[in-house]
Copies of this chain bind each other. A is one copy, B any other.
Amino acid sequence: MRIKVRAPATIANFGPGFDVFGMAIDKPFDEVVVEEFNEFEIISSGYPVPNGEDNIALFSAKTLFKMLNIEGGLRIKLKKGIRPKSGLGSSGASAVAGALGAAKLLGVSNDELILKAAMKGEEKASGEPHPDNVVPSYYGGFTVIESKSPLRVHFVDAKLRGVVVLPEVEIPTAKARKILPSMVPLKDAVKNIAMASSLILALKEGDLETIGRLLDDNLALPYRKKLMPWFDEIRRVALETGAYGITVSGSGPALFAIGENLKDIGKTIVEKFEELGIKAEYWVTKTGRGAKT
């Protein structure tokens, strides 16, 4: 039996929804082909990732076996399509692909269990579990994490086109976490609540301009900009080119912008990055399906 699973990249920390909002996009994705085997083996291609136990897809698959007390093994062929440390939920997608691939091989369909295994993989990769990456990569669409434990998820029926810009710099998630203060101004918290709630309504209405206006954040971005000194200038040119708004995906450096003229926006941002001596690429994308769907 051979199982193929595709787990998409995700835009997490979407606007004001730090640690809460996440959206699957249609590309890029990680793909695994999983087959029965007498031990646990991983063969990877695409972006370079660790082998053996340190591989997140394999670790998540193995975790599911353990959780179910099942002996045996599997071989995973992983096509790593999402660049690690891009901010696009690379480890979350690998975790989902590995756990779901293993589950399908074993005939297991309990979402909670599969997500738990994937979350353990994600935790191994980034120090803590990020359901705002793992959950949308699994289910697809736009998700709201009401709580991590117990895991409670809401779905927003959003269909959004956007442009992703990925500069060739790395922002390690752990560093991006560490730079956040433990205390934040109450008024900033209130602003984010106002923006996040309004964004949910705008997403449901498909009101692009309002969605764009609400792609801002007062809780993480002001601090994380120290790791992305180019952000304000990039944002400015994006808005000048007609973007309704732009947000950092995950802990960056990937950016996600919306507007009408997505190619122009992407091209202009890439040019600005190049002016700043940073190579970058862009692609137009949209809300995507999950690994499960």
Contact = CB atoms under 8 A, between A and B. Distances in A.
Interface of A: 16-21, 144-147, 152, 154, 156, 180-202, 204, 214, 219
A187 B195 CA distance: 17
A17 B180 contact: no
B186 A185 contact: no
A219 B190 contact: yes
A201 B198 CA distance: 11
Kindly name the residue among A183, A189, A204, A214 whose own CB sees the greatest number of chain B CB atoms within 10 A: A189
B180 A183 contact: no
B198 A154 contact: yes
A280 to B, nearest CB: 30
13 contacts: A16-B193, A19-B190, A21-B197, A144-B197, A146-B214, A147-B191, A154-B197, A154-B202, A156-B201, A189-B189, A189-B192, A196-B197, A197-B197
Copies in the complex: 2
A196 B186 CA distance: 15
A189 B198 contact: no
B183 A186 contact: yes
A177 to B, nearest CB: 11
Contacts of A20: 190, 193-194, 197
A156 B198 CA distance: 10
A17 B189 contact: no
A156 B201 CA distance: 8
Nearest to A21: B197
A143 to B, nearest CB: 10
A164 B98 CA distance: 50
Nearest to A152: B198
Q: Which 10 A-B pairs have the closest CB atoms?
A: A189-B189, A146-B198, A183-B183, A20-B194, A200-B200, A154-B201, A193-B196, A19-B190, A144-B197, A196-B197
A209 to B, nearest CB: 12
A145 to B, nearest CB: 6
A160 B192 CA distance: 25
A196 to B, nearest CB: 5
Contacts of A180: 186
B192 A144 contact: no
Contacts of A188: 189
B186 A181 contact: yes
Contacts of A194: 19-20, 144-147
B195 A192 contact: no
Contacts of A204: 204
Contacts of A184: 183-186, 189
